[in-house]
């Protein structure tokens, strides 16, 4: 387990959700579910409590509860429209929860002011399905801009970090290319480098390979696998890549109809799904 990073002063937690108390409850209740070894007193890095989200009259998330522990790689599976992406986008407040609580590193994030939200987001990286690279900037500038504008790093520092991260995703030779000159797979790897360069506490992947041609998927998955195995980064991955889920995930979460239907270690969930809906879904994919 990677050590928890030193964080800045914590924002006060609402009394109703005292962090230690919440963590203790979570520790007790999730122990079996997470199949994860963690020390007593350790807090989940992401804690989702009774999360509800509605778009107009449509309920997308119904009372979702989920804890993610430091260094854990959680893969979220489920059919289209099951609320996977919405849950992920709630974690960095790209979507505002309708009800419920989300705590990141014991800090309540719902109901935050805009400034606090921006501070939160620098600690929660996100990789999008459609890459969302900035097309007017080169690959390296894409990786640098967050560091210089948000982390206020010097240009030289940001440049060094960008070079390092681009090298890590195997694109050092594409540093001066603009996104339109890169393949989809390369763009997504730049996007991963851009997110990792911010050194977030949690990295969210929203269907990172769904927009890619099949032959490009592998390169991106390799980068993610490398990240999971060697960096100790906490990752929450929404994907349809079953192979990746089985090989890399510490835990697989299956969602359907806006609720978490089943979760557990990948081998157990894949080979012996407890919920019939999970079995049906895995059967249709397989």
Partner 1 sequence: MEYSRHTGALGTLARVLSVLCLALAIGCALSLAIAPASAEALTTDKATARPNEDGGSGVIGAMNTRLTWEGTVEDGEEVSSITLSLPEGATFDGSTTRITVLEGLTRIDVSGNAQANGASITVTFDEPIEAGSLIRLEITDMQFPAAGGDYVVSGTYDTSDGEMTLADSPAITIIANTPLQSIVTWLDGQAWVSAWNSNPFLGMFLKPQLLVTSFASLLPGWLLCLGIVLIAYPFAIALGLLFAMLKISRHKLLRAIAVIYINILRGTPLFLQIYIMFFGLPMLGININNNVLGVIVMAVNSSAYLAEIFRAGIQSIPVGQYEAASSLGMNHVQTMFSIIIPQTVRRVIPTVTSDFITSYKDTSLLSSVGVMELMMFAKNLTTVTGNITPYMAAAIFYLIVTLPLIKVVGVVESNIARSERGGGPRPRRGAGAAEPDEVEKPAEDTHSVSSNVDQASVLEALSAPFRSSTESLGGVADVR
CB 242, CB 213: distance < 8 Å: no
Residue closer to partner 1 by CB (options 23, 195) is 195
176 part of the interface to partner 1, by CB under 8 A: no
Least distance CB 197 / partner 1 (angstroms): 9
Please list the helix, strand and coil fractions of the chain in percent, rounded to the nearest 5, in that order. Answer: 40, 20, 35
240 part of the interface to partner 1, by CB under 8 A: yes
Query: Can you name the residues that pair with 237 across neighbouring β-strands?
Result: 75, 205
Least distance CB 16 / partner 1 (angstroms): 28
H-helix or E-strand containing 211?
none
User: Which of 11, 134, 176, 267 is in the footprint of partner 1 by CB under 8 A?
Assistant: 134
Least distance CB 282 / partner 1 (angstroms): 17
User: Which of 78, 125, 219, 273 is in the footprint of partner 1 by CB under 8 A?
Assistant: 125
Give the neighbor-by-neighbor strand order of the sheet with 73-77.
124-127, 202-206, 234-238, 73-77, 251-256, 259-264
| Structure tokens given for 266 | 């990948």
| Structure tokens given for 127 | 């990789």
**DSSP 3-state assignment of 230?**
helix
- The rounded distance, in Å, linking the Cα atoms of 59 and 235 is 26
220 part of the interface to partner 1, by CB under 8 A: no
- The rounded distance, in Å, linking the Cα atoms of 140 and 131 is 15
H-helix or E-strand containing 54?
strand 46-55
Number of residues that bind partner 1 (CB under 8 A): 42
Write down how long the chain is: 286
212 part of the interface to partner 1, by CB under 8 A: yes
Residue closer to partner 1 by CB (options 22, 162) is 162
Stretch that binds partner 1, among 13-21, 159-167, 211-219, 244-252 (CB under 8 A): 211-219
Residue closer to partner 1 by CB (options 103, 212) is 212
CB 116, CB 138: distance < 8 Å: no
Stretch that binds partner 1, among 22-30, 39-47, 146-154, 161-169 (CB under 8 A): 146-154
Residue closer to partner 1 by CB (options 40, 215) is 215
Residue closer to partner 1 by CB (options 63, 257) is 257
CB 80, CB 256: distance < 8 Å: no
Binding site for partner 1 (CB under 8 A): 80, 92, 94, 114-115, 118-126, 128-136, 145-146, 149-150, 178-180, 184, 187, 191, 194-195, 198, 209-213, 240
């Amino acid at each position: 387990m990677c050590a928890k990073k030193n964080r800045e002063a914590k924002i006060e937690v609402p009394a109703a959700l005292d962090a230690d108390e919440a963590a203790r409850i979570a520790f007790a209740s999730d122990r079996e579910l997470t199949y994860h070894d963690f020390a007593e007193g350790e807090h989940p890095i992401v804690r989702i409590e009774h999360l509800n989200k509605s778009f107009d009259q449509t309920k997308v998330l119904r009372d979702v509860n989920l804890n993610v522990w430091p260094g854990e790689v959680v893969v979220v599976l489920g059919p289209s429209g099951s609320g996977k992406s919405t849950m992920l986008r709630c974690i960095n407040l790209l979507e505002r929860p309708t009800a419920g609580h989300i705590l990141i590193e014991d800090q309540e994030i719902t109901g935050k002011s805009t400034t606090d939200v921006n501070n939160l987001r620098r600690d929660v990286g996100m990789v999008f399905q459609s890459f969302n690279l900035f097309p007017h900037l080169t690959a390296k500038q894409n990786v640098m801009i967050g560091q210089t504008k948000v982390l206020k790093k010097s240009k030289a520092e940001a440049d060094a970090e960008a070079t390092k991260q681009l090298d890590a995703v195997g694109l050092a030779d594409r540093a001066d290319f603009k996104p339109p000159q890169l393949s989809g797979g390369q763009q997504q790897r730049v996007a991963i480098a851009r997110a990792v360069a911010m050194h977030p506490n949690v990295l969210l992947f929203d269907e990172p390979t769904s927009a890619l041609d099949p032959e490009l998927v592998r390169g991106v998955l390799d980068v993610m696998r490398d990240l999971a195995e060697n960096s100790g980064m906490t990752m929450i991955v929404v994907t349809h890549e079953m192979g990746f889920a089985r090989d890399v995930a510490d835990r697989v979460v299956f969602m359907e109809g806006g609720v978490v239907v089943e979760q557990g270690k990948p081998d157990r969930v894949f080979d012996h799904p407890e919920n019939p809906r999970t079995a049906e879904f895995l059967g249709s994919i397989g």
